[in-house]
Structure 1
């Protein structure tokens, strides 16, 4: 039976709320014959200005416990409104949606000096979303993985593992692996073996995605831009190679997986330090944007050269970075340089799922798996000691019908 699920995602860039509405059917092997997902509505709604400012204040550690408590509810109201607006625009009755899976908004991801994640916090209270929409909402997915020793990320690996494994001899490469690279605020990759290899995938955060580029664009535009649209600023600048070499020496890039990172490490403070270094070397604001853009591409390519478990035959890119031509061109160049050969690089859309919708679809899938009592993490990717059911269930008005009619075989 198809289950209609809305997935919600707001990432470390906090540039908007992704809403995907999809029908999901089937169960992963060995519980079933596989999962099928049909997407029929997707949109990204910008955060209201006041709420986005609040998010960035919390990123910066500003605010009292009362501020954080109130923000948990305030952001949930916006998440709930986003679901209702996208459903109405798509002509989807809210009553036809069985589940909502909400990532929430990460405020803090606590990584110890040895790379262990000790805690993580996402806000946007699922009970508020359920109350406003009437739809049973599942959220707070990352904490269950952290509780069993995982990094709490990348959770998108479950989508990749269940739906995107490559065929044998991808692009003619014997034993060729597919790298599924997300470039949001932070970059993360899942390395997928071909279907004829009985080996586990590997995933981790590669480092900065758009987070430093966005900061550089705001600086270069005097605050007028929140990101480098079409890579225009980077295209006008030159890459300062000594700076690129220095920044690539950051210890995170050499740290072996499993590993995750966030704005706590690639922070405004770090960006300001990097900008001061660039200014001291005579780099213009556009040069700074160009250099941090190549830093993102080079850190991704360097991660592949260091840690890929097999030959990379294809790189598939999702996230906001796919829309930055300067970044995509730099990624192709850096991969060729660091892997010693040209590698096919393209958008996620070629695999049948729009690049922009990928993360929201992942949280729809995670809600679906949780509702069936099935694990949502991939331990080889997150570093968890064991597979775990992810998510906390906030019952909506449809909860009893969900149990009795839509998910009669689910294992709550």
Structure 2
């Protein structure tokens, strides 16, 4: 039980996330008031706790039962440490907090387009988090949507609708994490459309590690891609990726745009054209994103603007080219809507934990393809 006075219908919720880039645990502490359409969220603290390059490589290389079993508990320790750090950063104690929402680390995501048995797997043992923090943990948010016939992704459209909708206006919220995804929100949650646009930073990150010999984990400040030139024939080959022709709802992961693809690219051009490869990867993300808008969104919505978040916003080369490619549609940082872009996805899991405790369905069937709305997550006391 909390030791502080709590306003009615209010909870203090931690949100935890490690994205497809596998570079850090993002942790937030939020005050969440109410639930459903009337929910209100106040961000109280945000920290980013980086993984070491060796641990990132360990996550990316895990491919057998033993390594995944050990990794599940090791990630739980990382997530627990991040939760305790963000609580302390806010000047609070664990007993002041009501719940932790942990997305964990996705290690496999296999929607119906990739498997006869649709499934998804996130690691970061919630029992470890609960034991280390003394707090209840809600986790494993994707699986119920998959069981209800959905893709289990994207999850963030619920947050986008709850926080960023504006009466009478259609807004696009574009995330450029390891995978790119977009939500278009308007007045009614039933009208929300959201899907993965394709590659975000994942291909760029993998190439950056190879170009720099592991010194860089990403195309830092566009320093690598700015030295290269796009390889046109390779770009067209990448844009023929079968995922990009799938209609929404659709979701992607490392299976399509991860290390296997990066390794093929590196074997072909790494020795002779390393910087050109990174420049081509930037162009791949830009063009895949723009074509998704042109095919699935712009014919249907008169968009007010695109609000961008995720690690890709810190790559000036990527942002300059995406802004030019989507013109005259305005491209703006998410921060102008009042939430720091780096905190957004972790805030989503603080919200989803609150909705689980409130028994409020928080998937968006128009985005995931689920047969119905369901309560997401599993509770570890």
Q: Distance in 2 between matches of 1:74 and 1:114?
A: 28
| Superposed CA offset, 1:271-302 (max 9, x none) | 2223344469x6x2111111101110111111
Q: Distance in 2 between matches of 1:331 and 1:314?
A: 13
From 12, 17, 24, the equivalent of 1:4 is 12
| Superposed CA offset, 1:219-271 (max 9, x none) | 22122211111111111211222222221111111110101110011121212
Alpha-carbon shift at residue 117 of structure 1 (Å): 7.0
Alignment correspondent of 1:69: 69
From 42, 63, 72, the equivalent of 1:38 is 42
Q: Distance in 2 between matches of 1:311 and 1:303?
A: 15
| Structure 2 residues not aligned, in runs of 5+ | 1-7
Q: State the Cα RMSD in Å.
A: 1.8
Closer, same or farther: CA 95–135 of 1 in aligned 2, 3 Å: same
Alignment correspondent of 1:191: 184
Alignment correspondent of 2:175: 182
Q: How many residues align?
A: 371
1:364 aligns with 2:364: no
From 314, 321, 332, the equivalent of 1:346 is 332
Q: Distance in 1 between matches of 2:326 and 2:233?
A: 19
1:26 aligns with 2:19: no
1:41 aligned counterpart, secondary structure: strand
In the alignment, is the contact (CA less than 8 A) between 1:181 and 1:188 conserved in 2?
Answer: yes
Closer, same or farther: CA 116–151 of 1 in aligned 2, 3 Å: farther
2:361 aligned counterpart, secondary structure: coil
Deviates more, 1:289-298 or 1:69-78: 69-78
In the alignment, is the contact (CA less than 8 A) between 2:141 and 2:377 conserved in 1?
Answer: yes
Closer, same or farther: CA 318–304 of 1 in aligned 2, 3 Å: same
In the alignment, is the contact (CA less than 8 A) between 1:117 and 1:151 conserved in 2?
Answer: no
Q: After TM superposition, list the pairs within 5 Å mapping 1:230-241 onto structure 2.
A: 230-241=221-232
| Superposed CA offset, 1:201-222 (max 9, x none) | 1111111110000011112212
1:218 aligned counterpart, secondary structure: helix
Q: After TM superposition, list the pairs within 5 Å mapping 1:76-115 onto structure 2.
A: 76-113=76-113
In the alignment, is the contact (CA less than 8 A) between 1:116 and 1:151 conserved in 2?
Answer: no
Alignment correspondent of 1:323: 314
1:265 aligned counterpart, secondary structure: helix
Deviates more, 1:155-164 or 1:231-240: 231-240
Alpha-carbon shift at residue 86 of structure 1 (Å): 2.1
Closer, same or farther: CA 144–47 of 1 in aligned 2, 3 Å: same
TM-score, L = length of structure 2: 0.93
Alignment correspondent of 1:129: 129
Q: Distance in 2 between matches of 1:369 and 1:198?
A: 15
Q: Distance in 1 between matches of 2:311 and 2:116?
A: 28
Alpha-carbon shift at residue 66 of structure 1 (Å): 2.9
Closer, same or farther: CA 121–330 of 1 in aligned 2, 3 Å: same
From 254, 257, 268, the equivalent of 1:266 is 257
Closer, same or farther: CA 142–198 of 1 in aligned 2, 3 Å: closer
| Structure 1 residues not aligned, in runs of 5+ | 169-175, 337-341, 396-412
Closer, same or farther: CA 157–117 of 1 in aligned 2, 3 Å: farther
Closer, same or farther: CA 22–156 of 1 in aligned 2, 3 Å: same
In the alignment, is the contact (CA less than 8 A) between 2:16 and 2:26 conserved in 1?
Answer: yes
Closer, same or farther: CA 68–279 of 1 in aligned 2, 3 Å: closer
Q: After TM superposition, which residue ranges in structure 1, 4 or more long, deviate above 3 angstroms?
A: 48-51, 111-117, 275-280
